[in-house]
Structure 1
């Protein structure tokens, strides 16, 4: 009988510990997988120890200061593109993240290869900005925003600079980009 209870307790602990493991592809408030908004650029190699971290220098100054950082999985597939706050030092945190891999998702099912239908059914749109070729859709209750190519919109909205309403975007509109934006509140508080 004692062995039964010992085995049951071990099984229960195993189930509980497995449930506490962090989903490496979950996007939450201040979190993208294992990356949090407090992680510094110099810590990226340890956060993505099983992946490849590639620093991209666009200008001569960024070779020293650091520019965008691309994260690839072990198969060579691009996962994320990270842009640090004012790239001046390895101690900077991440400002924006472009989600490339569709395995990354929010708790409500929003992914990089998703459609506007997921937003319409699960989120409140805070505002919509129109550019020459795209529409930027900002969401309440999350750090995520999406960019939709105007080619996904009705013909009457593609070539206008007029404000586009959430109800005018078709449910079938696919995302051009899925982005996460983190401000620098923590630095201001320090």
Structure 2
């Protein structure tokens, strides 16, 4: 019986250590820190109670704009450092869940170490890049295992901006820097 209680105690301690080891800066598929696929807009104030939440709200379906803008929630640390920009799935709806989160702070990182300051070499060595799409000004890398996109400026690729030239993984220099890092919650 004594061994039984010891085993339970060890098990409980292990769970506590695992829970404590999870950082508020972890990124995984469908998760950034305390944000998950189930998080709603109304949860932001509680989750970021020690930070500043700046709301940039659209006009929704009633607006005059032909192109409807997304609501954005910009999260700033006290002191002014931009941490995240969160876009909800539904505009002007406090019960909406998250569509995407753009990461601005290098403390947010994946298990493999991917963060906003990673180079292409680090991204390519530690993550499977499933697809590359090219726009006029950048190349976007799709990382399906995280449901994330990483954008690299064409200038960092040694290509002219505003060209329609396709980019392959082999063309991207190892030291190319990330322009944006977005995790999608769909």
**Fold equivalence (TM over 0.5):** yes
Q: Paired residue for 1:4?
A: none
Gaps of 5+ in 1: 1-9, 184-190
The CA deviation at 1:81 is: 0.4
Q: Paired residue for 1:178?
A: 181
* Aligned CA distance change for structure 1 residues 130 and 86 (closer, same or farther; 3 Å): same
**Structure with larger RCO (C-alpha < 8 A, sep 6+):** 2
CA contact (8 A) 1:66 1:89 kept: no
CA distances 1:120-169 after superposition (whole Å, capped 9, x unpaired): 101111111111111111013112210100000034x6553232111111
Judging by fraction of residues, say which structure has more helix: 1
- The answer to which of 52-61 and 33-42 deviates more is 52-61
Q: Distance in 1 between matches of 2:100 and 2:171?
A: 27
CA contact (8 A) 2:26 2:33 kept: yes
Instruction: For residue 121 of structure 2, give the secondary structure of its aligned residue in structure 1.
Output: helix
Q: Paired residue for 1:47?
A: 47
Q: Paired residue for 1:26?
A: 26
CA distances 1:109-129 after superposition (whole Å, capped 9, x unpaired): 101111101111011111111
Number of matched residues?
173
Normalising by structure 2, what TM-score? 0.82
CA contact (8 A) 2:57 2:92 kept: no
Q: Distance in 1 between matches of 2:11 and 2:37?
A: 33
The CA deviation at 1:42 is: 0.9
1:134 and 2:133 matched:
no
Normalising by structure 1, what TM-score? 0.80
Q: Paired residue for 2:72?
A: 68
Instruction: For residue 170 of structure 2, give the secondary structure of its aligned residue in structure 1.
Output: helix
CA distances 1:48-99 after superposition (whole Å, capped 9, x unpaired): 122111111355868xx98100111122211000111131311111111110
Q: Distance in 1 between matches of 2:92 and 2:124?
A: 39
Runs of 4+ in 1 over 2 A off after TM superposition: 10-19, 57-62, 157-160
1:123 and 2:127 matched:
yes
